[in-house]
Every structure is written in structure tokens, then in C-alpha cells.
């Protein structure tokens, strides 16, 4: 009905939509190869920036083994440390400490999965939701305020905080959804701008007494009350909290929503071809608003996972870069709920392992960011990856129709 | 048509590759070092000192960097082992500190009040590991040593100097974010200007900060250099000729602005903060009157040294004019711009602040 004021923009963007859809729903093989290729290039970078390699390079032709050995040592020790920090540390003193890295990966993956699901869901409806960062911040702010201001019984308090976080994120993304549906304002621009507003809004709030520790002028909120904290799943030695189970449940729910529910069907129809969807009697504008509300709510839950799970206090950096990493996670997971789940785990492992890599081998943590960015680059350019690994493009093309419908379905 | 640019490109690429290869060849012909280059480690190599930055990173030209220099100095002077972890975001604090604990650090220096909660938690859980936290005094644990600064003392001297040096009768300051570690500079500066007015019966005005109301000009972050530049130009247009930016890297924007207006015939000077700006800024050092220094490197090294010797205490280290933790930097190029009379007055003020004759008070002062 009100969607009728937007068809003009839809037809002009149909070609870019095509490219967009190919990027967000590429083949799983490309994702996997992109990761492998990025890791190799990351290794080369680690070797190149290593002091010892630089030293030995000066006499490469007199004794080349020195440099090659040093390069291999630098890259392999960095990746071994990454693995030890992310999955299993065989050097640890106790069994619990050996398994701690994996729980750490799950912990870090929690907000990534939740926010990644939000981004992926919007992708499926044809919306490029760049605003996960702002939605996480709003979710954390709402949940945080509930957490440190209200006095509620155990159980109920946490529940209210979770709901508040969901609403916070949903409201923020809903603004973009409504503007898109009613006025055709492009969601990329609106969500990016809303990110800035969210960042500055929380910075402002942290200077108001309602959000500050009593007796302190530092921009940190008081810690949230114990009743609003996610219970730890494995005891006090580990940071893994209930939020991870919520992330698993959310993955299941989004899978169900997309593949088994009427709303999901409508959303996918809108994403596949808004014009056809409109002709078929599906309200495109309603679809945009609904999908942004749910997407924002998921990102808001990521904010809850941050404040109730690991951070406990609200600061300007509560969302870290999770909102932007979530976009990569959604791309890598090909906008499929379980794909997002495993991509989230992988990025969680990178982040968790990066810490160990930094302390153990002195490799700058930025290398993790480089690897992540390379992954995006390769996913955005599938022909490049295929060329590097000499995958037969023709053979792929023969099977691509099914792959395409699979991606769109 | 389509081919021609491509061939040119390829030709260029080949040439570049050839150049690079020959450069590599030339540089790669050096002689390898002798096999037994391994040096004997000194006595303290079994001691590990560690440092975790806040999100500014160790290249922030400010307190992360100075603290890092301190731990590097300790590595050099004491022969200890050093591990460092940079935090890209606040969510990295917990994992970084924890990984330091598991890496077997003897002392972990955490930089910045943002790490307060993390440090407290880690210190409570690991009573055998010692901690030192820069710019925070909220933790009271036997294994945590706060490193804090009464910066207002040195800033007071800078304020007096500025008031005595200005020719327009107006000086200015602005901050990055309104937090205690920033406003303490501005409070001291304001007091110094006021003290000069009282002593000399002058009426030098301070722009950008009102100590009573605790309101003033702030950038809102520590990154927006262009806003620092605009702010500085505004101050100059309002008639100020000495500016003190308390905003970390944003101070570079002030340097930019001052270089521009001075090229147009003005005579504006800058008072740098945290470290000796004369040695730090890339250009325009000749316009730096002095700097209000927090000598964090020295403090960090001192704390590590006493821990290596087994004399760790949780007594806060408070940098003051007395112990040299805060100081006014040398005038360098401005040596002649400051009268001998002013220099002796500054010495007197320093002595008076140390003896307590002059009380420098700031809400942000360490208690």
C-alpha cells in the first residue's frame, strides 16, 4: 500500500541488487577458500614484519636458510599461539586451563553470532544493515540502565534486562526500517548515521549523573547488579555465560523464521524481488519494518551479551568493533543462520586467539584485523579466489542455477 | 585499444619488479653474523614485567606511550623480560590482562582508569601477581600500586608563566574529554593565571575553562585534530596568544593552526602537555613555550625496579613537583622569551608549592 511510493528506486537498483545478492549468497567453498587464502597472506605479513626475518634478510644469499627458517618460525609460532589461545592450550598448567581457550572463543563469539544474525536477516530481505554497531550500543545502554538502576528479584531482573536490550536495538534499527519503508531513504546511509548518533549519545549519557558511578566523574557507568548478570555456565574460572545459549537459541529461531514461517517466506520474497513480492500481494514496506525490528533486536541482544555477560559496566567502547565484524560474519556465513553461527565461532576464535598471539609472540593484534579484512575482500571477489585455486568456472556455472535458488530460497 | 594500457602497465610492473629485485640483491649480500651471537642474559631475566595499554595503543604520543617507554627502559637497565599487549577496544581489557596473568608475569602495568575494574578483578583473583595501574586511585588491594599524578602543581607553574608571557592579556586552554585526568591540567593552569593576577595586579584572562563552574571547551574525543585546529583559531581570533591543548594527539591540530597564524604575522605560543612537546611534535617545535610533563616512564620504571628488588608496596605513587613526577619542561628555543625575573619567580613558586605555602587545589587532584 504505502510501498507504492518506492518502485522507482527499486528498478534503478535492480542491477546493483544482483551483485549484492551474489556477494551475500556466494558458495560455501568460496568462503572456506577465502579464509585459507587470508590466513596464508596473514602468515606472509607476520613473517615480513618480524625483526629476526628482517635481520637475516640482509645476508639472504650467503645463508638463505636463516631467513627462510626465521620466516617459518615467525608465522608458525604466531599461528600456533593463535590456536592455543582459541581452541586448546597444551602448555597450560591444569586441564581446566587447557580447555579455557575454547570457552573463551565461545564467549567472544556470542555477540558476534547475535549481531551477525541480525545483519544476515536484513541481507535476506535485501537490506544492507550497516547499523549493527549502533544497535549493539543502544541494546547495551538499555540493558545496562535496567541492570544498574532497577531493583528486581533474581531471574526477573535478568529477563527485563534482556527484553530491554532487545527493544533498544529494535527501536534503533526500526528507525531505519520505517524511513526506508515510508520515504525510501536508503538504509545504508541511515544506519551509518545512526551509528554515529548512538556513539555520541552514549558518550553524552555517560556524562550525566544517572549513568555515572556516584562520586566519580569518569565516563563509566556503575556495575550492573548481580541479579542482572548472565549466570556463568562453567563456574567462576571461565567467562562463558548463559548468553551463548541464547545465541544458539537465536540461531535456531532465525532458521525457523526464515525457512518455516510465513513471515520468513515474505521476507525472502521481498529480498529476492520486491516488485514481484508486491505483485504477489506482500506488503514490502511492512517487510522492511519487521525485518529491521528483528535484526536490531538481535544486535541489541549482542549488546546484552556484552554488558550482562562480560563487561558489567557501560562505557563508550562497549560494542568494540562487533557491529562491523558482524557484517563480515554475515557475509562469511552467506547469510544462512548456521553459516553465521560458524562464521561467528571462527571470528570469536580469531579474537580470543589474537590475545595469546600478541602476548606470546609479540605479533601485533592488528594482524587479526588484516586477516579478517582480507576475508571480506576475497568473499567480495569470488572470481579472484576461484582463479587462485584454479576452480573450474564452467563446471561451477553448470550447477549455479540450483545454487542460486538455494541462496535465494 | 583495450590492450595498450595493459601492456604499459605490465611493462611498468616488470620494471618495478626488476628494481626491487636488484635492490634486494644488493642488500642481501651482507655477511651472516657469527654463530655464537647469543648474549648472556643478565641476572633478572627470570623476572617478567608486562604492560597492557588502553584503547589508545602504545603509539598515542601520550600516557600509553610514556608508560611503555618506562617498561622498555626497565628491560634495558634491569635485563628483565617484557611482554606487552595492546587493547584495540575496551572489550580486550579482560582477555589481555588475563593472558598476562597466565603468561606468568610478575608485575602487570595497566594503563588508564578505564582498566580499573579489570585490574581490580584480576588482582583479587591472583593475589600472587603484582599490579600497577596508571591514572587511577580507586583500587585498595595489597597487590595493586596506583600510579597517579598531581598534575595541577606543574600546570599552576605553566599558568603563571603564560600569564606573565602573554602580550595580548589572554591565554587559552581546551580539553579532549571532560575527565579528571584532563581537567586537573586546566584547574592548575587557571589557578596559576589567577595567582599571577593577584600578585601583579594584572587582569590576564583565561579562555576555554572556568574552574569554579567546571565548564569549558572540549573536543569530545582524543582524535579529532581538525576540531582542535578550528578551536585554536577561534581562540586566536578572540585574542589569545598562548594556547594549552590538553587533548593528546588533538594537540597536533593546535600546532597546525599556530603555524598558519604565525606565518600570517601573529605570535602565538603553545604549552604542550604530558611529555616534552619540543621533542615530540613533528613540526612547529619553535612555537612551544614549555610543556607540563607527567613523567610516567620514570614512575613505571621505578615501580618495576622496587618490585625486582622485592620492595613492592601498594602505597600509591603520587607524582608531584617534589619527587619530580610532574615538572615543567625546559624552554628550549623560548629560553630568551622568558625573562630571568620570570624564571626566578617560577623557581620560587615551585619551592612554595613543594613546601605547601601555595596550595594548588583541584577537584581532580588525587586524594
Cα of B265 to nearest chain A Cα, Å: 38
Of B149, B178, B210, which residue is a domain's last? Answer: B149
Q: What is the pLDDT of residue B28?
A: 61
Apex B47 CA angle, B45 and B51, nearest 5: 115
Helix (H) or strand (E) holding A135: helix A132-149
Q: What is the grid cell recorded at A196? A: 554515529
Q: Is the pLDDT of residue B9 over 70?
A: no
Q: Do A317 and B89 touch (CB under 8 A)?
A: yes
Q: Do B179 and A218 touch (CB under 8 A)?
A: yes
Other beta carbons within 10 Å of B358? 18
Q: Do B89 and A320 touch (CB under 8 A)?
A: yes
Q: Do A57 and B27 touch (CB under 8 A)?
A: yes
Closest by Cβ to B99, choosing from A312, A318, A359: A359
Eight-class DSSP state of A390: T
The count of C-alpha atoms lying within 13 angstroms of the C-alpha of A85, restricted to the half-sphere facing its C-beta, is: 31
Apex A110 CA angle, A233 and A271, nearest 5: 140
Q: Do A61 and B90 touch (CB under 8 A)?
A: no
- In chain A, which residues have their Cβ closer than 8 Å to the Cβ of B83? 359, 362
Other beta carbons within 10 Å of B213? 7
The count of C-alpha atoms lying within 13 angstroms of the C-alpha of A276, restricted to the half-sphere facing its C-beta, is: 9
* Distance from C-alpha of A156 to C-alpha of B81, rounded to nearest angstrom: 49
* pLDDT averaged over 10-residue windows placed end to end, chain A, 409 residues: 43 57 67 88 88 80 83 89 90 84 94 96 93 96 95 94 97 96 94 95 89 77 92 88 96 95 91 91 93 96 95 88 92 91 94 87 83 84 78 51 39
Co-location of B158 and B272 in the same domain: yes
Q: Do A359 and B114 touch (CB under 8 A)?
A: no
Q: What is the grid cell recorded at B110? A: 595497566
Torsion from C-alpha of A262, A264, A266, A269, nearest 10 degrees:
-140
- In chain A, which residues have their Cβ closer than 8 Å to the Cβ of B220? 200, 203
Which of B176, B189, B162 minimizes the C-alpha distance to B251? B176
Backbone angles phi, psi at A318, to 5 degrees: -60, -30
Nearest CA in chain A to B177: A219
User: Does residue B181 lie in a domain region?
Assistant: yes
Q: What is the pLDDT of residues B273-328, one digit of tens each?
A: 988 889 888 888 899 999 999 998 889 999 999 999 999 999 999 999 998 899 99
Residue bearing cell 641476572: B43
- In chain A, which residues have their Cβ closer than 8 Å to the Cβ of B55? 317
Pairing mode, if any, of strands B209-210 and B326-328? unpaired
Which of A29, A32, A100, A44 minimizes the C-alpha distance to A74? A44
* Distance from C-alpha of B122 to C-alpha of B37, rounded to nearest angstrom: 39
Nearest CA in chain B to A355: B96
User: Does residue B266 lie in a domain region?
Assistant: yes
Which of B245, B268, B228 minimizes the C-alpha distance to B186? B245
Other beta carbons within 10 Å of B321? 20
Co-location of B277 and B203 in the same domain: yes
Co-location of B139 and B173 in the same domain: no
User: Does residue B226 lie in a domain region?
Assistant: yes
The count of C-alpha atoms lying within 13 angstroms of the C-alpha of A115, restricted to the half-sphere facing its C-beta, is: 38
In chain B the first and final C-alpha atoms are separated, in Å, by: 76
Apex A347 CA angle, A296 and A329, nearest 5: 40
Q: Do B117 and A306 touch (CB under 8 A)?
A: no
Cα of A374 to nearest chain B Cα, Å: 18
Co-location of B278 and B213 in the same domain: yes
Backbone angles phi, psi at A80, to 5 degrees: -65, -40
Q: Do A311 and B91 touch (CB under 8 A)?
A: yes
Q: Do A57 and B28 touch (CB under 8 A)?
A: yes
- Please give the sequence-ordered ranges of beta strands (E in DSSP) within A133-265, or none if there are none: none
Nearest CA in chain B to A220: B114
Q: What is the pLDDT of residue B92?
A: 87
Domain count, chain A: 1
Q: What is the pLDDT of residue B305?
A: 92
Closest by Cβ to A355, choosing from B90, B99, B113: B99
**A390 Ramachandran zone, left/alpha/beta (phi>0; psi -120 to 50):** left
Q: Do B220 and A200 touch (CB under 8 A)?
A: yes
- In chain B, which residues have their Cβ closer than 8 Å to the Cβ of A359? 50, 83-85, 96, 99-100, 103
The CATH number covering residue B201 comes to 3.40.50.2300
Nearest CA in chain A to B115: A220
Interface test with A, best of B20, B49, B55, B99 (most A CBs within 10 A): B99
Q: Is the pLDDT of residue B113 over 80?
A: yes
Which of B62, B58, B67, B121 minimizes the C-alpha distance to B94? B121
Q: What is the pLDDT of residue B242?
A: 96
- In chain B, which residues have their Cβ closer than 8 Å to the Cβ of A220? 113-114, 116-117
Closest by Cβ to A320, choosing from B84, B85, B90: B90
Domain count, chain B: 2
- In chain A, which residues have their Cβ closer than 8 Å to the Cβ of B84? 358-359, 362
Pairing mode, if any, of strands B326-328 and B288-294? antiparallel
* Distance from C-alpha of B196 to C-alpha of B184, rounded to nearest angstrom: 18
Cα of B79 to nearest chain A Cα, Å: 18
Beta pairing partners, B172: B207, B243
Nearest CA in chain B to A94: B102
Interface test with A, best of B20, B22, B24, B28 (most A CBs within 10 A): B28
Q: What is the pLDDT of residue A296?
A: 97
CB burial of residue B220 (10 Å; 0-12, 13-18, 19+): middle
Q: Do B220 and A218 touch (CB under 8 A)?
A: no
Residue A329 structural domain: 2-408
- In chain B, which residues have their Cβ closer than 8 Å to the Cβ of A364? 86
Closest by Cβ to B90, choosing from A203, A315, A365: A315
Q: What is the pLDDT of residue A122?
A: 95
Is the torsion defined by CA of B221, B225, B226, B230 positive or negative?
positive
Cα of A108 to nearest chain B Cα, Å: 9
In chain A the first and final C-alpha atoms are separated, in Å, by: 25
User: Does residue B162 lie in a domain region?
Assistant: yes
Co-location of B218 and B241 in the same domain: yes
Co-location of B88 and B216 in the same domain: no
Q: What is the pLDDT of residues B198-210, one digit of tens each?
A: 999 999 999 999 9
Q: What is the pLDDT of residue A323?
A: 93
* Distance from C-alpha of B120 to C-alpha of A308, rounded to nearest angstrom: 18
The count of C-alpha atoms lying within 13 angstroms of the C-alpha of A107, restricted to the half-sphere facing its C-beta, is: 31
CB burial of residue A87 (10 Å; 0-12, 13-18, 19+): middle
Closest by Cβ to A321, choosing from B89, B179, B220: B89
Residue bearing cell 620494471: B15
Q: Do B90 and A217 touch (CB under 8 A)?
A: no
- Do residues A198 and A138 lie in contact, with contact meaning Cβ atoms separated by under 8 Å? yes
Which of B162, B213, B94, B153 minimizes the C-alpha distance to B331? B162
Q: Do A312 and B117 touch (CB under 8 A)?
A: yes
Co-location of B176 and B107 in the same domain: no
* Distance from C-alpha of A30 to C-alpha of A46, rounded to nearest angstrom: 24
Interface test with B, best of A67, A303, A358, A366 (most B CBs within 10 A): A358
**pLDDT band per the 50, 70, 90 thresholds, residue B347:** very high
User: Does residue B216 lie in a domain region?
Assistant: yes
Residue bearing cell 561467528: A344
Q: What is the pLDDT of residues B237-283, one digit of tens each?
A: 999 999 999 988 888 899 999 999 999 999 999 999 988 889 888 88
Torsion from C-alpha of A200, A203, A208, A210, nearest 10 degrees:
110
Q: What is the pLDDT of residue B4?
A: 42
Q: What is the grid cell recorded at B244? A: 594549552
Q: Do A364 and B86 touch (CB under 8 A)?
A: yes
* Distance from C-alpha of B130 to C-alpha of A91, rounded to nearest angstrom: 23
Helix axis angle for A95-124 and A132-149, nearest 10°, is 120
Of B109, B127, B149, which residue is a domain's last? Answer: B149
Q: What value of ipTM does the predicted structure carry?
A: 0.70
- Do residues B178 and B211 lie in contact, with contact meaning Cβ atoms separated by under 8 Å? no
- In chain A, which residues have their Cβ closer than 8 Å to the Cβ of B116? 220
- Do residues A306 and A112 lie in contact, with contact meaning Cβ atoms separated by under 8 Å? no
Q: Do B103 and A85 touch (CB under 8 A)?
A: no
Please state, in angstroms and as integers, the Cα–Cα distance from residue B37 to each residue in A293, A362, B32, B33, following that order.
64, 22, 11, 7
Q: Do B92 and A356 touch (CB under 8 A)?
A: no
CB burial of residue A229 (10 Å; 0-12, 13-18, 19+): buried
- Reduced to 3 states (helix: H, G, I; strand: E, B; else coil), residue B293 is strand
3-state helix, strand, coil in chain A (%, to 5): 75, 0, 25
| Mean of all residue pLDDT scores within chain B | 86
Residue B192 structural domain: 152-293+337-355
Helix (H) or strand (E) holding B120: helix B116-125
Q: DSSP of A319-358, one letter per residue?
A: TTTHHHHHHHHHHHTTT-HHHHHHHHHHHHHHHHHHHHHH
Closest by Cβ to A352, choosing from B95, B116, B220: B95
* Distance from C-alpha of A372 to C-alpha of B57, rounded to nearest angstrom: 20
Q: What is the pLDDT of residue B35?
A: 53
Co-location of B165 and B247 in the same domain: yes
Co-location of B124 and B241 in the same domain: no
Of B87, B116, B149, which residue is a domain's last? Answer: B149
Closest by Cβ to A365, choosing from B31, B83, B86: B86
- Do residues B97 and B39 lie in contact, with contact meaning Cβ atoms separated by under 8 Å? no
Q: What is the grid cell recorded at B257? A: 593552526
Q: What is the pLDDT of residues B30-76, one digit of tens each?
A: 666 665 444 444 567 789 999 999 877 887 777 888 899 999 999 99
- In chain A, which residues have their Cβ closer than 8 Å to the Cβ of B96? 355, 358-359
Co-location of B111 and B162 in the same domain: no
* Distance from C-alpha of A264 to C-alpha of B338, rounded to nearest angstrom: 75
Q: Do B95 and A58 touch (CB under 8 A)?
A: no
Amino acid at each position: 500500500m504505502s510501498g507504492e511510493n518506492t518502485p522507482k528506486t527499486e528498478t534503478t537498483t535492480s542491477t546493483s541488487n544482483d551483485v549484492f545478492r551474489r556477494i551475500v549468497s556466494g558458495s560455501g567453498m568460496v568462503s572456506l577458500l577465502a579464509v585459507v587464502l587470508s590466513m596464508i597472506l596473514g602468515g606472509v605479513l607476520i613473517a615480513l614484519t618480524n625483526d629476526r626475518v628482517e635481520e637475516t634478510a640482509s645476508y639472504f644469499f650467503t645463508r638463505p636458510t636463516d631467513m627462510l627458517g626465521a620466516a617459518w618460525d615467525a608465522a608458525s609460532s604466531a599461528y600456533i599461539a593463535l590456536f592455543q589461545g582459541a581452541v586448546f592450550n597444551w602448555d597450560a598448567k591444569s586441564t581446566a586451563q587447557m580447555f579455557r581457550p575454547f570457552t573463551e572463543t565461545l564467549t567472544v563469539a556470542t555477540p558476534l553470532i547475535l549481531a551477525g544474525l541480525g545483519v544476515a536477516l536484513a541481507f535476506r530481505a535485501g537490506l544492507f544493515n550497516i547499523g549493527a554497531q549502533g544497535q549493539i550500543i543502544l541494546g547495551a545502554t538499555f540493558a545496562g540502565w535496567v541492570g544498574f538502576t532497577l531493583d528486581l528479584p533474581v531471574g526477573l531482573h535478568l529477563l527485563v534486562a534482556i527484553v530491554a536490550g532487545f527493544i533498544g536495538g529494535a527501536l534503533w534499527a526500526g528507525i531505519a526500517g520505517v524511513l526506508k519503508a515510508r520515504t525510501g531513504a536508503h538504509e545504508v546511509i541511515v544506519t551509518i548515521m545512526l551509528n554515529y548518533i548512538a556513539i555520541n549519545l552514549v558518550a553524552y549519557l555517560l556524562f550525566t549523573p544517572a549513568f555515572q558511578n556516584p562520586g566519580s566523574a569518569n565516563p563509566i557507568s556503575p556495575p550492573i547488579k548481580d541479579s542482572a548478570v548472565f549466570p556463568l555456565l562453567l563456574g567462576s574460572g571461565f567467562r562463558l555465560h548463559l548468553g551463548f545459549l541464547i545465541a544458539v537459541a537465536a540461531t535456531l529461531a532465525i532458521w525457523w523464521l526464515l525457512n518455516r514461517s510465513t513471515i520468513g517466506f515474505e521476507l525472502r520474497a521481498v529480498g529476492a524481488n520486491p516488485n514481484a513480492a508486491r505483485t504477489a500481494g506482500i506488503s514490502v514496506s511492512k517487510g522492511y519494518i519487521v525485518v529491521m525490528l528483528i535484526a536490531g533486536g538481535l544486535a541489541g541482544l549482542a549488546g546484552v551479551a556484552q554488558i550482562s555477560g562480560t563487561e558489567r559496566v557501560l562505557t563508550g567502547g562497549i560494542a568494540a568493533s562487533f557491529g562491523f565484524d558482524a557484517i563480515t560474519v554475515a557475509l562469511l556465513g552467506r547469510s544462512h543462520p548456521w553459516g553465521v553461527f560458524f562464521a561467528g565461532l571462527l571470528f570469536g576464535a580469531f579474537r580470543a586467539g589474537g590475545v595469546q598471539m600478541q602476548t606470546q609472540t609479540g605479533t601485533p593484534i592488528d594482524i587479526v584485523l588484516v586477516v579478517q579484512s582480507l576475508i571480506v575482500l576475497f568473499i567480495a571477489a569470488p572470481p579472484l579466489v576461484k582463479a587462485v585455486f584454479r576452480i573450474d568456472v564452467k563446471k561451477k556455472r553448470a550447477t549455479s542455477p540450483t545454487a542460486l535458488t538455494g541462496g535465494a530460497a | 585499444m583495450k590492450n595498450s594500457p595493459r601492456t604499459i602497465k605490465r611493462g611498468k610492473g616488470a620494471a618495478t619488479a626488476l628494481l626491487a629485485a636488484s635492490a634486494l640483491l644488493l642488500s642481501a649480500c651482507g655477511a651472516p653474523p657469527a654463530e655464537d651471537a647469543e648474549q648472556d642474559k643478565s641476572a633478572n631475566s627470570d623476572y617478567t614485567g608486562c604492560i597492557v595499554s588502553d584503547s589508545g595503543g602504545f603509539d598515542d604520543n601520550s600516557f600509553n606511550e610514556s608508560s611503555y617507554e618506562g617498561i622498555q627502559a626497565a628491560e634495558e637497565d634491569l635485563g628483565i623480560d617484557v611482554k606487552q599487549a595492546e587493547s584495540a577496544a575496551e572489550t580486550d581489557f579482560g582477555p589481555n590482562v588475563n593472558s598476562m596473568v597466565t603468561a606468568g608475569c610478575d608485575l602487570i602495568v595497566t594503563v588508564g582508569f578505564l582498566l580499573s575494574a579489570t585490574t581490580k578483578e584480576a588482582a583479587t583473583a591472583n593475589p600472587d601477581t603484582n599490579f600497577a595501574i596508571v591514572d587511577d586511585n580507586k583500587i585498595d588491594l595489597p597487590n595493586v600500586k596506583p600510579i597517579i599524578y598531581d598534575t595541577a602543581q606543574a600546570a599552576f607553574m605553566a599558568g603563571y608563566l603564560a600569564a606573565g608571557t602573554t602580550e595580548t592579556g589572554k591565554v587559552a586552554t581546551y580539553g579532549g574529554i571532560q575527565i579528571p585526568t584532563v581537567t586537573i591540567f586546566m584547574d592548575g593552569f587557571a589557578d596559576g593565571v589567577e595567582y599571577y593576577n593577584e600578585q601583579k595586579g594584572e587582569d590576564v584572562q583565561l579562555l576555554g575553562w572556568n574552574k569554579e563552574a567546571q565548564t569549558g571547551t572540549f573536543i569530545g574525543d582524543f582524535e579529532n585534530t581538525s576540531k582542535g585546529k578550528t578551536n585554536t583559531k577561534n581562540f586566536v581570533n578572540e585574542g589569545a596568544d598562548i594556547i594549552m591543548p590538553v587533548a593528546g594527539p588533538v594537540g597536533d591540530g593546535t600546532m597546525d593552526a599556530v603555524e598558519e597564524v604565525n606565518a600570517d604575522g601573529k605570535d602565538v605560543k603553545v604549552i604542550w602537555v604530558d611529555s616534552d612537546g619540543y621533542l615530540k611534535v613533528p613540526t612547529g617545535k619553535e612555537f612551544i613555550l614549555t610543556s607540563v610533563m607527567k613523567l610516567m616512564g620514570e614512575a613505571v620504571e621505578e615501580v618495576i625496579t622496587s618490585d625486582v628488588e622485592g620492595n613492592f608496596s601498594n602505597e600509591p605513587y603520587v607524582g608531584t613537583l617534589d619527587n619530580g613526577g610532574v615538572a615543567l619542561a625546559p624552554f628550549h628555543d623560548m629560553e630568551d622569551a622568558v625573562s630571568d625575573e620570570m624564571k626566578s619567580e617560577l623557581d620560587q613558586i615551585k619551592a612554595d608549592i613543594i613546601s605547601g605555602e601555595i596550595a594548588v587545589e583541584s577537584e581532580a587532584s588525587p586524594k
